[in-house]
Structure 1
Amino acid sequence: MQNLEAIREKAIEETKVKIEEDITHFLEAYETCPSFGDYLSERSMFFQQIWLNTWINKVTNNVLRSHKKAFLRNKGYEVEGIDKKLMNKMFRNEIRNEHPFPVKEWVLENAPDEQQWKTRHRQARERYVTEMAEKVTASQRKGVQKEILYFLEQKVGEQELNWYIELRYVFAKKLISDMNTKPKYKQIEPCALEDKLEEEGILSSHVFKTVSDFLKEFTGSIHKKSEQWERNLWEYETYYYPYERFISYYTEHIISSFAIENLPADILVSYKDIFGEELSQERLIKWAQPIFLKEKPLFFKWIQEEYVIDLIQLAGMPFEADAHLSLFKQASAKREERKAEERAALKREQEEEDRILEDIFGQEYSPSYRGGIRYVLHIGETNTGKTHKALNRMKGAESGIYLAPLRLLALEVFDKLNSDGVPCNLKTGEEEKEVDYARHVSCTVEMFHEKDEYEVVVIDEAQMLADQDRGFSWYKAITKAGAKEVHIIGSENVRSLLLELVGEDQVEIHNYEREIPLQVEEKEFKLKHARQGDALVCFSRKKVLDTASRLQNNGHKVSMIYGSMPPETRKKQMMQFIKGKTKVIVATDAIGMGLNLPIRRIVFLENDKFDGTRRRLLTSQEVKQIAGRAGRKGIYDVGRVAFTKDIKKMAHLLKQEDPSLQTFAIAPTNNVFERFQRYYHDLDTFFELWDRFKSPYGTEKASLAEEKVLYDLIRGTQIEAKLSLKDLYGFLHLPFSKKENRLTQQWLDSMYAIVNNEELPEPDIKNKNLEQKEISYKAVGLHLLLLYRLGRQTEAYYWERTREEIADGVHESLRTEVKEISKKCKQCGKKLPPNFGFPICDRCHAMGRKRRDNRRRSK
């Protein structure tokens, strides 16, 4: 065990000190000196207990647990797994009689002689008497303090208003003095110390309604805002802080002065008798802090509510309590009247704002059933022929329009109708293709115009109604289509929402079920299991390219599909798979949006995805939408679905019934902008009203976040000044990737060129590698969006050819570059073997494992 002797020596020394203290306490209790024998006979029975308490506490607190266990084992105890409290109890019981200290013998050995004993008694008695006298005096002082505080507490209710009246007068004089001498600084929001304050004249030349308004002004000084991580944070000071200190000081001064003047004479006499001096204001302020803590914030709150005009009247008047009290009551009554008027004005303003909001947005977002239209709903799972049937009806009509969720699908239907002998135009925003004698159009849903008339309208993927950013395009097409027949294609979860929008009386519903069953494989998928006809699904471009690279290095011929891929390239990649030139396709969830491919098996390489805010598990509808692409009628008898992990959980998502969609997205329309311009003419106000507009039940407003980001770039510039509100919003609403800084800068440069009647800057085209080609494709796409919006179709045709060339380059890069992606270690860049199945080399993997092991050991 640890050095018990050292612990024992400390316990002995502490015991001796306690015995000395015990002797002193014994002696001070007697007026005449008792004998040493009297002490022994009265106290010796407690000597050993004093030792035991000291010894046990010392040894229990200073011996390690492991040493206690060893001590108890030597005593024959079983201590493994024993509770800590029980072990300490057993240890104390066993250790109490170890190495005892003979206290009584030590006391007798050190017994004082008679003279020493009497001297010690006299000293102890004198100290005791002095302490008792001090306690009596302290008690008397405490009593006087309580009487003073009680007096003040009794006077608070009676004098509080009078104290405030005096404070109000002092405050008014300081306020008017500052307003007439101090400069006003330009308000900057937010204001940082790097921003130099600019003077705007004298404070009094500006109108302040209430004191609270004035206190928001800058003093020109800086003060410490807070301390954070041992750093002082500073900011420009407003008048709030010095005036808060002013109120604090004068509250103490006024109340303490009142107390000094009005305390009863007997309390003041008692105070002087006990303290030996007159009651000072400083002492009273110190004692009365509990009262001040209540009154200071109350008075500061009252003063902030005062109208500056009322305080101005006080500054030139001498202080007379009754007169100022009368003025205060008059001001209070007027203030209540003003507040009532202000509340009424605010109410009128709110009612007017509600009326304006209702007029601007009004019934724009409430479904309105349109007579004479035959609605046909095609409801069912993916890959059940819904779109095929709706398109056949459109092909047989005199005129029709197909509204697609993706540009690629619009291209696919454009090609199909023309190849089937039905002249069809194409319109996607980034391209327009006109065919002679065409009375049919294939376009993306955003290109729908409610004033166009057709015999048949086909709206695909109607479940996109719920998408916050794009959903309103579907809503507008469904509720405002000008046609004899409107065919709406969607999944089961959108059925009830569609019936709410179009009404049940004029609807024909076709239900579709899969003829080819889906079968979930029981075995977890590994990349080495990839076979011909597989579609491997992940949720990022990087993952698609990395997976395709690994497959290619293992001898597979691979097609790829991801969101940022040019549609022309995507089509070529699909055709390679359809024609059997590639055996496997790796894709993002874009594959689930109407792309018809001969897929034998859908493989989910990931079960979750990043949705722009967080990484989350796939929804049941997402799993069904993607998995439904497995199994092509006439090619496969069953569609297979595989997962890399959590097969039971994901299979459950595939089978469970989806909850019905409850809301649809809404966004600004041309009608909204027309009504808005009756009242206002700036987008700042429009965005503010849009945020304040309460979305009707069953709807969800588009955030307009991307539009706001672009607007921040051109707010207050000549671009905003020279464009009409509707045109400006149209340019903000262009569908391009605002997260690409290069594209945002291209958009900004183009906007300046448009308003200055200059040539649009040509997109920056780079073709060194796949990534550069893809961004160049987007840059040309943005250029085409602008050209078509400006009606410059002839020029656009040239850039469409340029974009096709870039798309060919992307396709070539996918063929040549992707194989190299996984050939280098991501950690050190070392070249990896062609069939190496991991993204990092063995050495980097081993080093990473070694670091993890070291971290675990250090914990």
Structure 2
Amino acid sequence: MNQLNILYPIAVDQTKFKIQEDILHFLETKEEMPTFQEYLEERGNYIQQIWINVWLNKVTNDVARKEKKAYLSERGYEVEGVDRKLINQLFRNEMREYQPFAALDWLKNMEKENPLAWEEQYRKARILFEKRIKEKREQAEREEVVTALELQAHKIVENSQQEYYLIVRNFVADKLDTDLHEAVKFEEVDTFRLEELLLEAGSFNPEDYSTVASFLTELTGAVHKTYHYGERHFEYETYYFKYEKRITDFLFGVIPEKILKEMDPALLYRYEDVVGERVNPSKIRKLLANALHLIIHSYMEEIQEEYVSDLLELVPIPYEKSVHQRIYEEDVKERVKRKAAELAEIERKKQEEERMLDDIFGREYIPSAGRDIRYILHVGETNTGKTYQALQRMQEAESGLYLAPLRLLALEVYDVLNAGGIPCTLKTGEEEKIEPGAKHISSTVEMFYEKDFYEVVVIDEAQMIADKDRGFSWYKAITKANAKEVHIIGSYNMQAMILQLLGDADVEVHRYKRDTPLQVESRMFTLSDAKKGDALVCFSRKKVLETASSLQQRGYSVSMIYGSMPPETRKKQMQDFINGKTSIIIATDAIGMGLNLPIRRIVFLQNEKFDGTRRRRLTSQEVKQIAGRAGRKGIYNIGKVAFTGDIPAMAQLLEKKDQEVHTFAIAPTSSVLERFQKYSRRLGTFFELWEKFESPEGTEKASLSEEQYLYETIKDTVIEARLSAGDLYGFLHLPFSTKEQVLVGQWQDTMFAIVNGTELPEPYMRKGSLEDGELSYKAVGLHLLFLYRLDRRTEATYWERIRESFSDEVHERLKTDVKTITKQCRNCGERLAHDFKYGVCDRCHFSKMRRKHKNLNNNRHK
């Protein structure tokens, strides 16, 4: 076996080397030279074992498994399918007797051939041993002197920390003075969002900062690298990091030199003698690195508590330890007093603020009790005649008020009553149609005025009391209605909340069930299944128009309803569907809010909607509200419901019991704003107080996000200066979409015109496209909101006609423009199939994914 022939001489040489090592280890600890025979008596048995260990390890590790098996096979062993461990064991057993090397005989021959070699080996072993012992002693001495040096350095630091802080305090005072008077101040941004360009905000004003900590949050204008949760990030640098680095560099530069001057000279000489080098600041810096970092952390915490004014007073005073120590002690005493005074002032302001909050908001949101009013609660499913029954009672009354969630519903009731010979006035935020001698009013719920008396008040869609932005209007109408009878209409899930609000009042509850059952279709709906009488529901204007276009291209006549559509246009679109001019209606969830149409089947084209924050699955209440519009007694005695996917889960939502309304929304009232004005005229302060105000149990505060957004655009201008908080809030509260920047700009221009006494600017008016017509309608509507608020009704009449022309324009555009609309990839514009699920085409999607994976791979290799 060739491999064994190669390995054998190598193993012999290794055995000889290890025997030589063993002899040296044996001899080095003997103070007198032992004889060769004494060595053999003590180590003879081990010498032969050296060969066996070396040889077996060599052949086990270096002989290939294939050759091991061949060797064993030649000797009659069965090796096929045998475990590797067993092969190694069998091979080692065979190798034990393979040409054994007589190590003991070799050693004896060596001694006979050169008797003096033993004595030479002894001298060599003793020299090496004594050298190693000396090195150990020297190393121990070096470690001892380094430890002594480190201990003394730490002791000096420990005893001098107060002095070092005084030095750092003086250093920071100089840097702070320079930064406050020479550096540029930047506007505040999110430090991680580097895409936000820093804007200069003038110079620093030292009086704006109480403690150093309040200044260290300012931005330096630089970008630096930092780590968060173990990952590297780049962010805008604050002065905290700049001062931390300054103090670190300063201490590591100054302190080691000071320590070196204070150290025991004898220890320094001994260190130089033992180690062979002089002690320098760099050596001290290395010894104290961890301790200095701990000190820096401690100093950063203490320096942040210092008052800026105290440090700035230090600047002109030359550093002298005793002087600065006295100033520091006086500042600390004064700081304790100031902190105590500040805490007392904070507590005083807190108590004052609590009293102010109680005075301003107080019991404003606790329902009044003990009123002699009869309440009739109409609860039930959609399309069950609840509103019809309540309106019948209102029409019989001498005077009545109908409060609707939508302007379109208010308009519908206005038309019904006037057509029935009952004079009725229409009042919404954007228009008024006053009928001579009318004692009945149809209005949106936001127009409710609690001091007007009516024989009957009807409040529709009362479950909207839970809406976080509009719910307070329902709360106010329900709890403050001034009437003999108040009819409250809503879904089953709001009954408990309304009864709780009304307390011990006289309440009569009428419950309604559908006469026309709902039937869920088991087959998934596609557009090719569309039939006359269908209402297709989706949750965006874009989806409505795309669907309408697709159906029109297939030859269907369609009506459309979506939130931003002018109410008059909605009415015409609905009328076309009712009269049979169109066979299908496509709508957003606005269709579920009290619109009575002859719908055969409700089709949910989408099972999710974007609620302003995220995309989410429809709730049971939403599905029921919309699906309930299917079926019309005498026309369709069964209401059908269809879905484009996930039918079992969506069908379960129709059967699921609604979650009861447990909270209602509250918002500022005119009384609240009047009380606020005793304390301040700035609405910014009011919004801050509103955030701090803890709403009563069972209520949820309106976010006032749109009002605050508008306020930020005119804060600290002549508008805020010249208007009372109540009047300004009224203009902030005008119902229009702040997402339309054209309207926001119009609102600002009109506000400046009002306070400056100039002509109101004309609204945006253009008829170039469907979008232009809709935006123009909104702009004229906003103009009307201002006119009615300013009581300029004559002008309003003219602008109502202008707005009506834009409503007609939108209606005509829907007939002509929609058919040409196609669904397109939002990235490349490629035309997509109507039922394509996503907003980007496959090519753009896969291109994005490839870029993403490429970036991930690049980052991994960095």
TM-score by length of 1: 0.80
> Which segment drifts farther, 494-503 or 126-135?
126-135
Q: What is the deviation of 1:522? A: 2.1
**Does the CA contact (< 8 Å) of 1:666 and 1:699 recur in 2?**
yes
Distance 2:446 2:550 in 1: 38
**Does the CA contact (< 8 Å) of 1:378 and 1:509 recur in 2?**
yes
Check if 1:141 corresponds to 2:142. Answer: yes
> Residue 163 of structure 1 corresponds to which residue in structure 2?
160
Change in CA separation of 1:26 and 1:366 when aligned onto 2, cut-off 3 Å: farther
Q: What is the deviation of 1:340? A: 2.7
**Does the CA contact (< 8 Å) of 2:19 and 2:47 recur in 1?**
no
> Residue 241 of structure 1 corresponds to which residue in structure 2?
244
Q: What are the within-5 Å matches in structure 2 for residues 570-609 of structure 1?
A: 570-609=570-609
**Does the CA contact (< 8 Å) of 1:430 and 1:784 recur in 2?**
yes
Distance 1:809 1:188 in 2: 49
Distance 1:845 1:277 in 2: 73
Change in CA separation of 1:176 and 1:753 when aligned onto 2, cut-off 3 Å: closer
> Sequence identity of aligned pairs in percent?
48
Q: What are the within-5 Å matches in structure 2 for residues 672-683 of structure 1?
A: 672-683=672-683
**CA offsets, 1:443-497, max 9 Å, x none?**
1111112222222211111111111111111111112222222211111111111
Q: What are the within-5 Å matches in structure 2 for residues 157-236 of structure 1?
A: 160=158, 163-174=160-171, 184=181, 185=183, 187-190=185-188, 195=199, 198-199=202-203, 210-212=211-213, 224=224, 226=226, 235=237
Change in CA separation of 1:663 and 1:52 when aligned onto 2, cut-off 3 Å: farther
**CA offsets, 1:95-132, max 9 Å, x none?**
99999xx9999999xx99999x9999999998887666
> Which segment drifts farther, 536-545 or 720-729?
720-729
**Does the CA contact (< 8 Å) of 1:788 and 1:796 recur in 2?**
yes
Distance 2:824 2:163 in 1: 82
> Residue 809 of structure 2 corresponds to which residue in structure 1?
809
Distance 2:304 2:842 in 1: 68
Q: What is the deviation of 1:694? A: 2.0
> Residue 369 of structure 1 corresponds to which residue in structure 2?
369
Matched to 1:165, the amino acid is Q
Distance 2:273 2:340 in 1: 56
> Which segment drifts farther, 327-336 or 623-632?
327-336
**CA offsets, 1:221-265, max 9 Å, x none?**
96846489999766474673366337744894499469725x9x7
Q: What is the deviation of 1:605? A: 1.4
Change in CA separation of 1:187 and 1:673 when aligned onto 2, cut-off 3 Å: farther
Change in CA separation of 1:43 and 1:453 when aligned onto 2, cut-off 3 Å: same
Structure 2: runs of 5+ lacking an equivalent = 67-78, 190-195, 858-862
Change in CA separation of 1:545 and 1:51 when aligned onto 2, cut-off 3 Å: farther
SS of the residue 2:633 aligns to: coil
> Residue 736 of structure 2 corresponds to which residue in structure 1?
736
> Which segment drifts farther, 363-372 or 171-180?
171-180
Change in CA separation of 1:178 and 1:547 when aligned onto 2, cut-off 3 Å: closer
Change in CA separation of 1:90 and 1:515 when aligned onto 2, cut-off 3 Å: farther
Matched to 2:188, the amino acid is P
**Does the CA contact (< 8 Å) of 2:187 and 2:200 recur in 1?**
no
> Residue 51 of structure 2 corresponds to which residue in structure 1?
44
Change in CA separation of 1:269 and 1:856 when aligned onto 2, cut-off 3 Å: closer
> Residue 412 of structure 1 corresponds to which residue in structure 2?
412
Distance 1:698 1:24 in 2: 93
Check if 1:548 corresponds to 2:548. Answer: yes
Matched to 1:464, the amino acid is M
Change in CA separation of 1:53 and 1:333 when aligned onto 2, cut-off 3 Å: farther
Change in CA separation of 1:608 and 1:128 when aligned onto 2, cut-off 3 Å: farther
Check if 1:623 corresponds to 2:623. Answer: yes
> Residue 690 of structure 1 corresponds to which residue in structure 2?
690
Change in CA separation of 1:846 and 1:423 when aligned onto 2, cut-off 3 Å: closer
Distance 2:366 2:651 in 1: 38
> Residue 67 of structure 1 corresponds to which residue in structure 2?
none
> Which segment drifts farther, 522-531 or 249-258?
249-258
Change in CA separation of 1:752 and 1:95 when aligned onto 2, cut-off 3 Å: farther
Matched to 1:418, the amino acid is N
**Does the CA contact (< 8 Å) of 2:27 and 2:125 recur in 1?**
no
Change in CA separation of 1:529 and 1:324 when aligned onto 2, cut-off 3 Å: closer
> Which segment drifts farther, 733-742 or 456-465?
733-742
Change in CA separation of 1:231 and 1:397 when aligned onto 2, cut-off 3 Å: closer
> Which segment drifts farther, 177-186 or 544-553?
177-186
> Residue 193 of structure 2 corresponds to which residue in structure 1?
none
Q: What is the deviation of 1:187? A: 4.4
Distance 2:226 2:849 in 1: 42
Distance 1:780 1:189 in 2: 37
> Residue 70 of structure 1 corresponds to which residue in structure 2?
none
> Residue 351 of structure 2 corresponds to which residue in structure 1?
351
Q: What are the within-5 Å matches in structure 2 for residues 458-473 of structure 1?
A: 458-473=458-473
Distance 2:232 2:145 in 1: 43
**Does the CA contact (< 8 Å) of 1:24 and 1:124 recur in 2?**
no
RMSD of aligned residue pairs (Cα, Å) = 4.9
> Which segment drifts farther, 479-488 or 612-621?
479-488
Distance 1:473 1:596 in 2: 24
> Residue 378 of structure 1 corresponds to which residue in structure 2?
378
Q: What is the deviation of 1:820? A: 2.7
Structure 1: runs of 5+ lacking an equivalent = 61-74, 78-88
Q: What are the within-5 Å matches in structure 2 for residues 785-800 of structure 1?
A: 785-800=785-800
Change in CA separation of 1:296 and 1:400 when aligned onto 2, cut-off 3 Å: same
> Which segment drifts farther, 698-707 or 612-621?
698-707
Equivalent residue in structure 1 for 2:263, among 241, 260, 263: 260
Change in CA separation of 1:148 and 1:444 when aligned onto 2, cut-off 3 Å: same
Change in CA separation of 1:837 and 1:668 when aligned onto 2, cut-off 3 Å: closer
**Does the CA contact (< 8 Å) of 2:260 and 2:280 recur in 1?**
no
**Does the CA contact (< 8 Å) of 2:666 and 2:700 recur in 1?**
yes
Change in CA separation of 1:370 and 1:427 when aligned onto 2, cut-off 3 Å: farther
**CA offsets, 1:183-218, max 9 Å, x none?**
5257443279854575568x6xx5975454576688
**Does the CA contact (< 8 Å) of 1:368 and 1:501 recur in 2?**
no
> Residue 71 of structure 2 corresponds to which residue in structure 1?
none
**Does the CA contact (< 8 Å) of 1:193 and 1:235 recur in 2?**
no
**Does the CA contact (< 8 Å) of 2:380 and 2:491 recur in 1?**
yes
> Which segment drifts farther, 816-825 or 406-415?
816-825
**Does the CA contact (< 8 Å) of 1:251 and 1:295 recur in 2?**
no
**Does the CA contact (< 8 Å) of 1:28 and 1:128 recur in 2?**
no
Matched to 2:53, the amino acid is F
**Does the CA contact (< 8 Å) of 1:386 and 1:489 recur in 2?**
yes
**Does the CA contact (< 8 Å) of 1:163 and 1:254 recur in 2?**
no
Q: What are the within-5 Å matches in structure 2 for residues 486-525 of structure 1?
A: 486-525=486-525
**Does the CA contact (< 8 Å) of 1:375 and 1:507 recur in 2?**
yes
> Which segment drifts farther, 700-709 or 234-243?
234-243
**Does the CA contact (< 8 Å) of 1:822 and 1:839 recur in 2?**
no
Q: What is the deviation of 1:382? A: 0.8
Aligned residues: 808
Distance 1:581 1:212 in 2: 71
Distance 2:140 2:704 in 1: 71
Distance 2:621 2:694 in 1: 29
**Does the CA contact (< 8 Å) of 1:145 and 1:287 recur in 2?**
no
**Does the CA contact (< 8 Å) of 2:12 and 2:51 recur in 1?**
no
Q: What is the deviation of 1:515? A: 2.1
Distance 1:174 1:849 in 2: 57
Q: What is the deviation of 1:722? A: 3.0
Q: What is the deviation of 1:593? A: 0.4
